[in-house]
Amino acid sequence: MNKKVLVIEDDKIVRENITEILELASYTVKTAKNGKIGVSLANDFMPDIIICDILMPELDGYGVLQIVSNSPKLEHIPLIFLTAKTNHEDLRKGMELGADDYINKPFEESELLRAIDIRLKRVEAFEQKKSIQNDIKLHEKTIKNIKNFDQFLDQKQLFNYKSGETIYCQGNQSNHIFLIKKGLVKTYKTNELGKELITGYFTSQQYFGYSSFVKHSPHFENSKAVTNTQLYKINKDEISSIINNNHHILYHFIDLLATNLITLKEKLLLMAYASVRKKTALTLIYISENYPLKSDSEIKICRADFANSIGIAKETLIRTLHDFKQERLIEINPKGIKIINKNKLIQIK
């Protein structure tokens, strides 16, 4: 939409010349032959900028500026004076009243267009900054009053990841805690040879990525969607408000961190001292109880991820699973793995 300019000038020739210049530059122009008519027209036309002569009958330019400056409806509109008077006192008077610029008569077309363009750009920048500040204030106000967690999530953006797509990498800055709405995610570390060690699996209504977030450090592991996944990203300010206003979420985080710490210590002991058979058996039991991709008690996990969860080679895992099958501890079929003797698996040395 073309910007609108109101020209208030008592000299008909000057008024028509300015109108022609501005219309050629694609401005929408309205004109008034004195200040009184100009002020009345400004209230209806609501121009983006006013070009106003100083010496006029009925109401001079200073009077126009004073009325515009004191009107809540018009005060934001920039005003440029046209004047043949160039003494210091006149300039100072106009600037004290709030004039945005002066253009001395006679003037070049480019001078007029440049002055208008500069003022309009400043107004645009100011409005944009004001809008951003208002958005920030509204966001901060909303953040401070997160009292219903489910309603908060309903307003959050959902991020979609396809199966196999990376969510974050080791070394990425940690700015969010992730909450899964739907799907399955794995976290893992990779050594210098490219060997994976899976550190966790997470599914619907579970959080991940919180350790680095809490420590304000880059991610120390990688994460990847195992299945098509939808998740929320919750930032630091939101987490603070959520915890302050939803105490059950705080207790949930404490329980989550404590449980993960216990699981991690048990896994470290297992990896350090247990045999391959023991590692495989206990990991199999753990996955059967916690891994979400199950159907009729059959665990649907690829052999590579299973091996990486234990920290052994895939070939070693396959041989061990074959032994377990021979010992009638598990069943193996194309769909997955099914435990048939949990007690004996627990007792494996």
List the chain domain ranges. 4-129, 150-270, 274-347
What integer pLDDT is reported at residue 132 of this predicted model?
67
pLDDT for res 102: 83
Angle, CA 103 vertex, CA 98 and CA 109 arms, to 5°: 135
pLDDT digits (tens, 9 = 90+) for 313-348: 888 888 888 888 888 888 887 778 888 888 888 888
Is the pLDDT reported for residue 24 higher than 90? yes
pLDDT (mean) for 113-138? 76
Residue 76 predicted with pLDDT over 80: yes
Among 305, 310, 165, which residue's Cα sits nearest to residue 223?
Answer: 165
CA–CA dist 216, 335 (Å, integer): 42
Token pair 């997470």 is found at: 202
Residues with Cβ within 8 Å of residue 243, at least 6 apart in sequence: 249, 250, 253
Contact 322, 285 (CB under 8 A): no
Model pTM greater than 0.85?
Answer: no
Cα separation, 301 vs 306, in Å, equals: 7
Q: From CA 83, how far away is CA 46, in angstroms rounded?
A: 23
What long-range pairs does 90-96 form, CB within 8 A, spacing at least 24?
90/54, 93/62, 94/54, 94/61, 94/62, 94/65
- d(C-alpha 96, C-alpha 113), whole Å: 24
Model pLDDT, residue 288: 77
The arrangement of secondary structure in 4-129, i.e. its CATH architecture, is: 3-Layer(aba) Sandwich (3.40)
pLDDT at 21 over 80: yes
How many Å apart are CA 275 and CA 302, to the nearest integer? 22
Q: What is the pLDDT of residues 176-216, one digit of tens each?
A: 888 889 888 988 888 777 788 888 888 888 888 877 766 67
* CATH of the domain spanning 274-347: 1.10.10.10
Give the helix ranges, DSSP H, for the chain. 12-24, 35-45, 61-69, 88-97, 109-143, 149-155, 210-215, 236-245, 247-273, 276-290, 303-310, 314-326, 342-347
Q: How sure is the predictor about 121, in pLDDT bands with cuts at 50, 70 and 90?
A: confident
Residue 231 identity:
L
Domain 150-270: which CATH class? mainly beta
Please say whether the beta carbons of 232 and 135 come within 8 A. Answer: no
pLDDT at 172 over 90: no
